[in-house]
């Protein structure tokens, strides 16, 4: 019988996680993700090691981000597309990035009860958004969760996020293809979609193309095609198409996936696929570096005591912001000077 530490009665070793994930063991994958999501200081080092060990086995999936306002039909679409992919033999992981779940203490996205059919598919793994921490923390956890799913053998990763606020940019920066779902007849302003988000999309799909709504959807397709015509595409070699689909009838769902495949093929040929992933990895690393440096800086005792006073002086117009920054940086450098 293996000895267990009394403080961590169920603690697993790094090699247990790694072997479990590589062997495609779902419950070990779930436990490894829980370790990565943990905010307990004692877990951070083990989590880092697990990710390091699994990293060489990651990267082999197609990563697709899906966004759109609440009610546009994201969950229903993911269920319909997901079942199609699983039945076609793909291994699908569905993740969510939802910074608001930090507040609501539970994810509103990728909710198992909303994807009942998909949860029953043996090839599918669904994981709701991590909770706790700012968007930066959620983004790191989601990115590492994605890598773990890839190491476990999932070859399609769908990342769902709600189309309000900043989370779309976060998801855009971790996927190969970004799909924006839109409603017909709601107008962009009504949908809370800023022009900036449309510019991030590799394709638009107008949902609920069924019944009485089908004609509105066709009209919206023509309108959005005109809008896109005037926008700069995210990749100069790819012009984002405007598609229509119905998750109820299944019409157009296969076509959306066909477009993802066409994009992937074209982007791999042109080198844009690898270039986008490389840029994303470096951006992510620099973003983490910025966060860590900022954290170290603002915890330095000299900075902690000097910053409020300097900020006051800046607000009172007695000191320029540039001068205040110079003083703070000088204090920081001095405190790290080995001569002091």
Q: What is the smallest separation between the CB atom of 207 and ligand GDP, expressed in angstroms? A: 6
Nearer to ligand GDP, 107 or 246 (CB): 246
Q: How many CB atoms lie within 10 A of CB 304?
A: 11
Q: Which helix (H) or strand (E) holds 331?
A: helix 321-335
**CA–CA separation, 92 vs 236, rounded Å?**
29
Q: Does 191 bind ligand GDP (CB under 6 A)?
A: no
Both structure tokens of 146: 């994605």
What secondary structure does DSSP assign to 270-330, as a single string? HTHHHHHHHHHHHHHHHHHHHHHHHHHHHHSHHHHHHHHHHHHHHHTTSS-HHHHHHHHHH
Helix (H) or strand (E) holding 222: helix 214-229
Considering the complex, state which of residue 73 and residue 128 has its C-beta at the smaller distance from ligand GDP: 73
Taking the complex as a whole, the smallest distance from the CB of residue 311 to ligand GDP amounts, in Å, to 41
Question: Residues 75, 142, 161, 191: which binds ligand GDP (CB under 6 A)?
Answer: 75
Structure token pair of residue 36 = 């990565």
Q: What x-and-dash track marks residues 76-95 binding ligand GDP by CB under 6 A? A: x-------------------
Within residues 102-161, the interface with ligand GDP by CB under 6 A covers 114
Q: Which is nearer to ligand GDP, 36 or 183 (CB)?
A: 183
Kindly tell me which of 151 and 184 has the beta carbon lying closer to ligand GDP. 184
Closest approach of Cβ 315 to ligand GDP, in Å?
43
The secondary structure of 231-267 as a DSSP string is SPPSBTTB---EEE--TTT-TTHHHHHHHHHHHHHHH
175 φ/ψ angles, rounded to the nearest 5 degrees: -120, 165
- Of residues 228 through 287, those in contact with ligand GDP by CB under 6 A are 246-248
In the shown chain, the binding pattern of residues 196 to 235 toward ligand GDP, with x for contact by CB under 6 A and - for none, equals -----------xx-x-------------------------
Minimum distance of ligand GDP from residue 76's CB (angstroms): 3
Minimum CB distance to ligand GDP, residue 6 (Å): 44
Cβ within 8 Å of residue 8, ≥6 positions away: 42
Q: Can you give the binding site for ligand GDP, defined by CB under 6 A?
A: 68, 70-76, 114, 207-208, 210, 246-248
């Amino acid at each position: 019988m293996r000895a267990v530490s009394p403080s961590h009665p169920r603690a697993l070793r790094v090699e247990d996680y790694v072997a479990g994930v590589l062997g495609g063991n779902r419950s070990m994958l779930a436990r490894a993700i829980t370790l990565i999501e943990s905010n307990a200081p004692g877990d951070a080092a083990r989590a880092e090691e697990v990710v390091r060990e699994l990293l060489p086995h990651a990267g082999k999936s197609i990563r697709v981000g899906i966004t759109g306002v609440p009610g546009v039909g994201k969950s229903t679409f993911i269920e319909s597309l997901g079942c199609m992919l699983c039945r076609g033999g793909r291994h699908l992981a569905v993740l969510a990035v939802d910074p608001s779940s930090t507040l609501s203490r539970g994810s509103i996205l990728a909710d198992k009860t909303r994807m009942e059919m998909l949860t029953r598919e043996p090839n599918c793994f669904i994981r709701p958004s991590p909770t706790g921490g700012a968007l930066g923390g959620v983004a790191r956890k989601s990115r590492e969760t994605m890598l773990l799913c890839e190491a476990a053998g999932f070859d399609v990763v769908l990342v769902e996020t709600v189309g309000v606020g900043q989370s779309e940019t976060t998801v855009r920066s971790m996927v190969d293809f970004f799909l924006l779902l839109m409603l017909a007849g709601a107008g962009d302003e009504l949908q809370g979609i800023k022009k900036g988000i449309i510019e991030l999309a590799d394709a638009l799909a107008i949902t609920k193309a069924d019944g009485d709504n089908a004609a509105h959807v066709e009209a919206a397709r023509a309108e959005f095609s005109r809008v896109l015509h005037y926008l700069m595409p995210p990749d100069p070699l790819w012009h984002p198409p405007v598609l229509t689909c119905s998750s109820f009838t299944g019409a157009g769902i296969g076509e959306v996936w066909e477009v993802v495949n066409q994009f992937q093929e074209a982007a791999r040929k042109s080198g844009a696929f690898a270039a986008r992933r490389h840029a994303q990895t470096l951006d992510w690393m620099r973003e983490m570096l910025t966060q860590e440096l900022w954290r170290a800086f603002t915890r330095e005792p000299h900075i902690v005591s000097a910053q409020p006073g300097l900020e006051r002086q800046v607000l009172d117009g007695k000191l320029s912001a540039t001068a205040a920054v110079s003083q703070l940086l000088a204090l920081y450098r001095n405190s790290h000077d080995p001569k002091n």
